[in-house]
Structure 1
Amino acid sequence: MKNTTIACIALCLCAITSFAQKTTSTIESIKLAEERDIQLYVPEDYSAEKSYPLIVVLDADYLFDAVVGNTKFYAYKDEMPQSIVVGINQKNSRYEDCFYSDENGFPDKKGNAFFEFIGMELIPMIAKNYNLAPFKAIVGHDTSANFSNYYLFKNNLLFNAYINLSPNFAPTLEHKVPERLSSLDTMTFYYLATSENDESENQQRIGVFNNNMKSVSNSNIHYYFDKFENANHYGVASYGIPKALDKIFKMYKPISVDEYKKEVLAYEGPIVGYLTDKYNTIESLFGFKKQVSLNDMMAIYAGIKKKDDLESLEELSKIAKKEYPNTMLGFFFEAEYLEKMGEPKKAMRTYEKAFGMKEIDFLTKDLALERIDALKADFGW
């Protein structure tokens, strides 16, 4: 019976793959001993050659479309990777699904079964049919937001990111979760939101949670908190989802002016290390190598010039040749490095190589000629 049921789930998900975009289906769960309705979004241009983060949405009856819409928007702007989103409808079962013991605040009865359904049935079946990245996130609101926190207490974390929208915390969880976050040794993203018009008990306990997090000094934890002025208990979701995605996927986004000022220029060590750290993190989390954006190349170049970091300029030229091999970028950076190192002949020859390449950004053939002519004038050539 078990193998037959798993086969049914797999066939169902295989059928979904042929449609892409958003699909609603019913799967049979062994853990829950019942059928469950799920919603699945797969990017329209899904390719098995790429890997995709997975976002699990609880209370999908009303949260799913908001999450999908925002993931599509940010992916379109290249501010987060294209992602697969799976939602579990809970309209008639959310309190049973998220049931916990009043004694210890952890899942009990059907809550245990629902916990295992997500981790042992739903996600493995999606992984069998789609190429998933290591990065996984879970989204919940109110009771389901509280439930998402239980995955933090697994020895091997199932999720990298937790989006808690006005959680109705189980007993003492506002203390237990910060304690747990303080001890984690893996990069974890945690977003928490409430509002001035939220339910009073939620506000109070979320405030305690946020105060507890102020004493957490774990560099592995990326914690974000918002308290919205005008939203009510349900409006927190519409305000919080885009803010959460914007903050959680910050490392994927192009370097902003604020990031340049506060983080790039403050980076300890050769400044090019900020660029390599950023893209190594992207590759580690999302399972694919992202091309270094021209925006980021230029931000690091600006930082190098400001800090007169010649070591980084040489390394940046190597990265530029690899990422933009048919353009002037790499040879221009190399020529500028050689010029500053007091090797004018080598610099001039390298500027000449840059002149023969394709123009890019502010780097034009006229600029290369200006540099060449200036070197000739300086040395009377």
Structure 2
Amino acid sequence: MTRSSPGKIKKYLAILLSLLFCVSSVVAQVKTPIPLASTFSMHSQVLGEDRTIVVALPAGYVSSNASYPVLYLLDGDQNIWHVAGSVEILTRTGAMPPVIIVGVKSENRMRDFTPSSVEGVPYSGGGKNFLNFISAELIPYIESNYRTHPYRLLEGHSLAGLFAVNTFLENTQLFDAYIVMSPAMWWNNEEMTEKAKSFFKNDAELNRSIYFGIGADDGQGMQNELGRFVETIQQDAPKGLSWSHKVFENEGHMSAPLLANYYGLKFVFSTLKLPDALWQEFDSEKFLAHERMIMETYGEFAKQSEGDYVTLGLKLVEEGNYEGAITVFKRNTEAYPIYPANFAWLADAYEKHADYDKAIEAYSLALTKSKAINFGQEKNYMHNIERLSKLTQTE
């Protein structure tokens, strides 16, 4: 797809690099430390024991009334560190919406994550009980005590990846998306692959997402076992199932999850991105319909990356589609209301559309926000306000 000429793209990139520098300056001024997560203990009647739960709230949770999707993270006490970091970066850049991360600390992985009892493997086969704990106790508790959006994800690694696959097959509707990292598909003579063969043939339609990631250094056996499961999807994938499988070169069993989590999240939320057709032939109504769709699906803070909004808006300005540019830049100011330059771009589009009063209003907002964070563009914005005010007086 060709979105613009190389010369135009270079100009857009220069502007965006300037934007990123400004954004970094704004972010650098935030001094208040933010704790990564809080921890609490809950008693499970199903498991007959107390379980430790780790919860990481998205930035802005306390100051908003919004509801957020929930990422349920197995082995949460270990994985919360890298997962929370990736989520923060992807959220800040518009690659995914802000989410609540709920990590479940592991107590007995062999018991909780295995779907069947295997002779000679002590404690195995408690997966059904653990799934009942999640569905009947943990999820209701989280949804009663936090502002949650209906969209849910489940993420697991190794034996926990096996559990995630079994949950997908046994209780598919419980989660909207699954991120499966280096799963132990060898369990019980590849039980999950055998189960999947009938599952996929019987399910004609399945509106879910599942992502598989594994390291190339994880061993040929692990890769082949996962590969055979993936083959069942390739042969009989139900309509509506979105799936992906990636092998990470030079990564092993314990390092691959860092990349699998990152790319898994990007894949699961890839529908946030604007369709190519809107870049090629822009339509304001279709653009706004897409934005409404992602907010309904993933919560009110779902958005494009700031760079995409700006690049599209500038492209429309260059093409003379000022009304379209105004639509995009207005959405950008709603999605990214902190940065003064976003309001200045909106003001410029209004001016080119000869709507000087609204241009003055947008520049005034840019000025106010610039003063608030010492953005350094106050004189420029004031000059534009004065210049446009004179134009309105002479009309």
- Normalised to the residue count of structure 2, the TM-score between the two structures is 0.66
1:148 aligns with 2:153: no
Equivalent residue for 1:25? 40
| Aligned match for 2:53, one of 22, 38, 45 | 38
| Aligned match for 1:113, one of 129, 144, 151 | 129
Equivalent residue for 1:281? 293
User: C-alpha distance in 2, partners of 1:207/1:158?
Assistant: 25
2:295 touches 2:303 (CA, 8 Å); kept in 1?
no
Q: Which amino acid aligns with 1:121?
A: E
1:358 aligns with 2:363: yes
Equivalent residue for 1:183? 205
- SS of the residue corresponding to residue 183 of structure 1 reads coil
Sequence identity of aligned pairs in percent?
21
| Structure 1 segment 1-150 matched on structure 2, within 5 A | 21-43=36-58, 45-47=60-62, 49-91=65-107, 93-101=108-116, 110-150=126-166
Measured after TM superposition, the shift of residue 291 of structure 1 is 6.9
User: C-alpha distance in 2, partners of 1:218/1:98?
Assistant: 26
Equivalent residue for 1:161? 177
Q: Which amino acid aligns with 2:226?
A: I
Cα pair distance change 1:332/1:227, threshold 3 Å? same
Cα pair distance change 1:194/1:265, threshold 3 Å? same
User: C-alpha distance in 2, partners of 1:109/1:296?
Assistant: 48
How many residues align structurally? 326
Taking only aligned residues, the RMSD between alpha carbons, in angstroms, comes to 4.3
Cα pair distance change 1:301/1:34, threshold 3 Å? same
Measured after TM superposition, the shift of residue 146 of structure 1 is 1.9
Equivalent residue for 2:24? none
Equivalent residue for 1:339? none
Measured after TM superposition, the shift of residue 233 of structure 1 is 1.9
- SS of the residue corresponding to residue 230 of structure 1 reads coil
Measured after TM superposition, the shift of residue 249 of structure 1 is 3.1
User: C-alpha distance in 2, partners of 1:353/1:67?
Assistant: 42
Equivalent residue for 1:13? none
- SS of the residue corresponding to residue 193 of structure 1 reads strand
User: C-alpha distance in 2, partners of 1:62/1:143?
Assistant: 14
- When structure 1 is superposed on structure 2, of 232-241 and 20-29 the one drifting more is 20-29
1:57 touches 1:86 (CA, 8 Å); kept in 2?
yes
| Aligned match for 1:197, one of 217, 220, 223 | 217
Please, which runs of 5 or more residues in structure 1 have no aligned partner? 1-18, 337-346, 374-381
Please, which runs of 5 or more residues in structure 2 have no aligned partner? 1-33, 119-123, 335-339, 367-379
- When structure 1 is superposed on structure 2, of 188-197 and 167-176 the one drifting more is 167-176
User: C-alpha distance in 1, partners of 2:224/2:360?
Assistant: 64
Cα pair distance change 1:211/1:80, threshold 3 Å? same
Q: Which amino acid aligns with 1:265?
A: W
User: C-alpha distance in 2, partners of 1:303/1:180?
Assistant: 47
Cα pair distance change 1:125/1:332, threshold 3 Å? same
User: C-alpha distance in 1, partners of 2:358/2:292?
Assistant: 30
- When structure 1 is superposed on structure 2, of 197-206 and 270-279 the one drifting more is 270-279
Larger RCO: 1 or 2 (CA < 8 Å, sep 6+)? 2
| Aligned match for 2:246, one of 209, 226, 229 | 226
| Structure 1 segment 213-362 matched on structure 2, within 5 A | 213-214=233-234, 220-252=240-272, 262=276, 264-265=278-279, 270-272=282-284, 275-288=287-300, 295-301=307-313, 304=316, 314=323, 317-318=326-327, 320=329, 324=333, 327=343, 333=349, 348=354, 350=355, 354=359, 357-358=362-363
1:174 touches 1:205 (CA, 8 Å); kept in 2?
no
User: C-alpha distance in 1, partners of 2:247/2:238?
Assistant: 23
Measured after TM superposition, the shift of residue 183 of structure 1 is 1.7
1:57 touches 1:140 (CA, 8 Å); kept in 2?
yes
